[in-house]
Amino acid sequence: MHWYILGAGAIGCLCAELLHNSGAEVTFVLRNQTQLDSFNQAGRQVRFHDADTSSSINVDASLPGDHATINHLLVTTKAYDTLPALSSIQHRLAPDAQIVLLQNGCGQQQEVTRLYFSLQVWAGITTHGAWRDAPFSIIRAGKGHISIGPMGKPQPALPNGWDMLTPPVIAEPNIENALWRKLAINCAINPLTALHGCRNGELLTDPKLTEQMLSICEEIEQIAHARGHKLFASSLFHAVSEIAQLTGDNFSSMLQDLRQGRQTEIEQITGFLCREASTLGMQVPHNQRLLDQIRTLQSRHDIKGEGCE
Ligand SMILES: NC(=O)c1ccc[n+]([C@@H]2O[C@H](COP(=O)([O-])OP(=O)(O)OC[C@H]3O[C@@H](n4cnc5c(N)ncnc54)[C@H](OP(=O)(O)O)[C@@H]3O)[C@@H](O)[C@H]2O)c1
């Protein structure tokens, strides 16, 4: 089995290791010659570090303009890069290629399924934590799991070879619901912590933030229900509070992106929710305000990002 990986960042490299260790051939599709040069300088290796151990794997790399046909593709770019990245390799995709989208946010999965209707598309979510300290050098920040499920037309529970991976990938038959659950949590925690520059735990210790989080959660739940998604056994507010408690010392990825002047995934998180509300003719004023505020912060820092309404 030969898997190409588009998006050789933290999650792409973790998945390269997973696939490589299962015996699959792995090839990164890098953005350009500069990235390929940097990969060659790194010895065509990906290195992994945690508190106690270091390891490395050797993988291959190609450029979008190459001609080898791609039958199996994993996309691990940031959500906002999905469509441009895919379009750069469109000419290489086999008509019935298998494609897995493993990213936060919503909207891009449905867009890919609609635009690339002949492909077999799976979407996934992951609770792994990792970041890059240098190109192709990954710090493991927390062990989690990966859940994958088919989008759109009926197809196998997992793509070719993904039932053989160790640790196992969870086959999620209702991936749209799982994507909504992850979206709901990200909508409730990320923009609020990014805006207030606080750790996740402060959402529970500052009564004003807790009240705001409650209003945000109630709006999200209304939109999810209108779309036919029951999110959690308890209320979303209860579920989010548990997560904020468990991850109390963490800074959300959106806050870290803002602090480092990187584009955030706000348009695929709260932006998606607001677009869904607008389509349904419903109001989500608390979420809309957060979206506007993060957009303003991004534009003040001159961070690239698309308005989408
Ligand atoms: N990291 C985590 O702990 C974590 C946990 C859960 C979920 N996620 C989600 O997983 C997704 C990936 O996150 P990440 O942390 O792995 O991001 P990342 O480290 O920034 O990696 C994204 C990679 O995609 C590459 N890329 C973007 N456009 C491309 C193109 N046109 N062609 C080729 N490569 C392209 C980027 O290259 P450049 O470096 O050149 O931009 C980068 O290497 C996100 O949706 C994130 O929210 C991440």
Confidence check: pLDDT of 163 > 90: yes
Decide if 126 contacts 170 (C-beta within 8 A): no
**In this predicted structure, what is the pLDDT of residue 152?**
84
Q: Whose CA is nearest to atom 35 of ligand 1?
A: 7
Per-chain mean pLDDT for the chain:
95
177-217 residue pLDDT tens: 999 999 999 999 999 999 999 999 999 999 999 999 999 99
Burial of 201 (C-beta count, 10 Å sphere; 0-12/13-18/19+): middle
Confidence check: pLDDT of 303 > 70: no
12-60 residue pLDDT tens: 999 999 999 999 999 999 999 999 999 999 999 999 999 889 999 999 9
Confidence check: pLDDT of 306 > 70: no
Give me ligand 1 centre to Cα 157, in Å: 25
Query: Can you tell me which atom of ligand 1 is nearest the CA of 14?
Result: 16
pLDDT bracket for residue 308 (50, 70, 90): very low
Cα–Cα nearest to 213, from 298, 132, 287, 272: 287
Rg over alpha carbons for the chain, rounded to the nearest Å, is 19
What mean pLDDT comes out for the span 7-11?
Answer: 98
Q: How far is CA 230 from the centre of its chain?
A: 21
For a pLDDT cut of 70, what percent of the chain falls above it? Answer: 97
**In this predicted structure, what is the pLDDT of residue 301?**
75
Decide if 122 contacts 100 (C-beta within 8 A): yes
Q: Which of 78, 153, 182, 208 is catalytic?
A: 182
Cα–Cα nearest to 169, from 100, 265, 238, 269: 100
For a pLDDT cut of 90, what percent of the chain falls above it? Answer: 94
90-113 residue pLDDT tens: 999 999 999 999 999 999 999 999
CATH class for the domain made up of 2-172: alpha beta
Q: Which two tokens stand for residue 156?
A: 């196998």
52-93 residue pLDDT tens: 899 999 999 999 999 999 999 999 999 999 999 999 999 999
Phi, psi dihedrals of residue 168, rounded to the nearest 5°: -65, 145
For the question of residue 182 being annotated catalytic, the response is yes
Gap between the Cα atoms of 165 and 19, Å rounded: 7
Query: Can you tell me which atom of ligand 1 is nearest the CA of 141?
Result: 3
Decide if 263 contacts 78 (C-beta within 8 A): yes
Does CATH number 3.40.710.10 belong to domain 177-300? no
**In this predicted structure, what is the pLDDT of residue 280?**
98
Q: Whose CA is nearest to atom 18 of ligand 1?
A: 9
Query: Can you tell me which atom of ligand 1 is nearest the CA of 84?
Result: 31
Confidence check: pLDDT of 1 > 80: yes
What mean pLDDT comes out for the span 247-263?
Answer: 96
Residue extent(s) of CATH 3.40.50.720 domains in the chain: 2-172
Residue extent(s) of CATH 1.10.1040.10 domains in the chain: 177-300
**Ligand 1 pocket, CB under 6 A:** 6-12, 29-31, 35, 76-79, 81, 84-85, 88, 103-104, 126, 128-132, 253, 265
Decide if 220 contacts 192 (C-beta within 8 A): no
Give me ligand 1 centre to Cα 9, in Å: 5
Q: Whose CA is nearest to atom 47 of ligand 1?
A: 104
Query: Can you tell me which atom of ligand 1 is nearest the CA of 103?
Result: 45
Q: Whose CA is nearest to atom 20 of ligand 1?
A: 9
